Structure 1
Amino acid sequence: MMNILWGLNIIAVKMGVEAAGPFTAAVLRQVIVFAICAPALRIVPGRMRDLLLLGVLSGGVFYAFVNWSLAVATNVSALAIAGQLGAPFSLILAVIFLGERIHITRIIGMFLSFLGVVLLVFDPAAGKEIPGLLLTAIGSVIWAMSSLLQRRIRGVPILTIYAWMGLMGTLVLLPIAMWQEPEMLRAVPDLRVRDMGWIVFSAIGSTICGLGAMSWLLQRHPVTTVVPLTLAAPVISVVVASLYFETPLTPIMMLGGAVAMTGVAIVTIRTAERQKAG
């Protein structure tokens, strides 16, 4: 269920962006997340700096870049592949800031992850999406930074984390939407139910249910069992995006995706094994 929710989410985000604008759609998503999680909002002594920073980065800046990338791109499958750079970027930041030591296996995995995305540039169907790919890469760096922060707030209830993310994300994204999309904001009451449904799906299905399921699983099963299973989500994203938006999956794109996913799998599985051992 978690993989399906995450895999389908790329369609929902793209449709929400097309209907409401990238920043307005992001604001609405975070407002919904906050509205649902608000009862869990509370001060967590000793964790507030990390919670607030996580909310700004993961709840605000990350969605600004992700939605912006989808607004300027037509080949959503290519962006789904590029979005997997979060795993190697997270490992690089862990080495730089946490002093984590890595060996040849994960270095090879990082290399393959980047190589797979680089291959997209040489594909006629995906090469024209360079602005979207760059924005997605920046979003992946923000996601990686957020993943380091999440390590520091272990033990905080998931709904409390997402209450702060929804609140801080709204506070970050609303001024951007007011600046860049004032007409879109004013038109929110006129959004069709179907268009609003895409945004609601992203907020509830992907963020709350998807990530809530991940938290539930990690509380009951070893990380080495759970984390590798999430690798199905990007594969679902690539396939459903290609089918829904009728964009081609060329041989080069499939090769790039396979290489990137192999690298991500190596990094993800080896990192999970290291965390369990530690």
Structure 2
Amino acid sequence: MRARDFLLLVLVCLIWAFNNVLSKIIVDDWAIPPIFYAALRFAVVALVMLPWLLPMPRPAWRIILIGLLMGGGNFALLFIGLQTTSPSSAAIILQLGVPFTILLSVLMLGERVHWRRGIGVSFTLLGVLIVIWRPEGVALSAGLWFVAAAAFSGSVGAVLMKRVVDVSPFRFQAWVGLVSVISLTLCSLLFEQGQWSAATAAGWPLVVAVLFTALIVSVGAHSAYYYLIRHYEANLLAPLTLITPLATIAFGVLITHDNFDLRMGLGAALAIGGVLIVALRRKPATALLVDREQR
């Protein structure tokens, strides 16, 4: 990989990681309703991507379902979880997306699991168990349940996306944005209150944050990553994107003062090491196994 492209990938991963911590600040410190925040983000994405909306990919039901799973559903669940959990813990729990995707690929696509992938999955699950372990036993807090659900939602969307062909990244983002903003707006109206008063109280910092997450993260960073996918094999990129959870943990400790002790460190090392084993298998890795989150 050329040095320029490596630095671009590092920048993309750092943007994704910082966005995870920023989202925590928005939904927790600023008390912005999480579904409403996700709707604002996808509204900007849909507006920017509008020129690439047509023609609609076929079959329509599949692209709509993928948009709901990888867009609105994934981000809404993640933001709800971030209200009550730390970015560091969320970054580790999100690694469940790897075993989820592998299991769903076996069940839905008939893929076979090589023994090395099985070891990687086992390491990832063991790492997550260590993170959620408490002296009184294993317990997944409400926030981490939502983060785990976000990982599962993204994994189902990733498996469905394997059947999508001849859809450009910009057209895909356009439909994810449109489907997500419609569904999230309806959900926010039904289940949340005080959206605009919270937004008004946050003021211009919220506007800047939404523009950052929509334009820099969703449009900019993801487009840059798609560029890298076109020029390099996924089994080269996938291990390098593990910079994202590591940087999320670092940003979480520095910015939101996350608690990070020996147990968390061991769990993170095992979970991320498991993902690395999967990503380094001989056959080209599916990039979605590692990156679908990290946004």
Report the TM-score, using the length of structure 1 for normalisation. 0.91
**CA deviation string 1:131-166 (max 9, x = no partner):** 111111111110101111222223311111111111
Aligned AA (2:60): M
> Does the C-alpha gap of structure 1 residues 47 and 247 become closer, same or farther in structure 2, counting only changes over 3 Å?
same
Aligned AA (2:81): S
Counterpart pick for 1:179 among 169, 175, 190: 190
Counterpart of 2:56 in structure 1 is 44
Aligned AA (1:4): L
Counterpart pick for 1:197 among 208, 211, 214: 208
Aligned AA (1:24): F
Quote the Cα distance in structure 2 between the aligned partners of 1:117 and 1:129. 10
Report the TM-score, using the length of structure 2 for normalisation. 0.86
Counterpart of 1:105 in structure 2 is 116
Aligned AA (2:68): V
CA contact (8 A) 1:177 1:185 kept: no
Give the CA deviation at 1:190: 5.3
Give the CA deviation at 1:271: 7.6
Counterpart of 2:181 in structure 1 is 170
Q: Are 1:78 and 2:73 counterparts?
A: no
> Does the C-alpha gap of structure 1 residues 269 and 49 become closer, same or farther in structure 2, counting only changes over 3 Å?
farther
Counterpart of 1:138 in structure 2 is 149
Quote the Cα distance in structure 2 between the aligned partners of 1:120 and 1:93. 24
Give the CA deviation at 1:168: 0.6
Moved over 4 A (4+): none
Q: CA RMSD in A?
A: 2.0
Counterpart pick for 2:18 among 3, 8, 32: 8
CA contact (8 A) 1:50 1:152 kept: no
CA contact (8 A) 2:16 2:217 kept: yes
CA contact (8 A) 1:79 1:133 kept: yes
Q: Which moved more, 1:88-97 or 1:47-56?
A: 47-56
Give the CA deviation at 1:218: 0.9
Aligned AA (1:32): V
* Amino-acid identity (%): 27
Give the CA deviation at 1:45: 5.0
CA contact (8 A) 1:77 1:238 kept: yes
Give the CA deviation at 1:38: 0.9
Give the CA deviation at 1:187: 4.8
Quote the Cα distance in structure 1 between the aligned partners of 2:286 and 2:145. 30
Q: Secondary structure at the match of 1:152?
A: coil
> Across the two proteins, how many residue pairs are aligned to each other?
273
Quote the Cα distance in structure 1 between the aligned partners of 2:223 and 2:256. 28
Give the CA deviation at 1:249: 1.0
Quote the Cα distance in structure 2 between the aligned partners of 1:181 and 1:253. 33
Counterpart of 2:27 in structure 1 is 17
Aligned AA (1:61): G
Counterpart of 2:5 in structure 1 is none
Q: Secondary structure at the match of 1:42?
A: coil
Q: Which moved more, 1:244-253 or 1:127-136?
A: 127-136
Aligned AA (1:7): A
CA contact (8 A) 1:88 1:267 kept: no
**CA deviation string 1:219-264 (max 9, x = no partner):** 1112222222111111101111111111221000000000000011
Give the CA deviation at 1:268: 2.4
Quote the Cα distance in structure 1 between the aligned partners of 2:215 and 2:155. 22
Quote the Cα distance in structure 2 between the aligned partners of 1:262 and 1:247. 21
Give the CA deviation at 1:123: 5.0
CA contact (8 A) 1:24 1:185 kept: no
Give the CA deviation at 1:71: 1.2
Q: Secondary structure at the match of 1:273?
A: coil
Which runs of 5 or more structure 1 residues have no equivalent in the other structure?
A: none
Aligned AA (1:2): V
Q: Are 1:35 and 2:47 counterparts?
A: yes
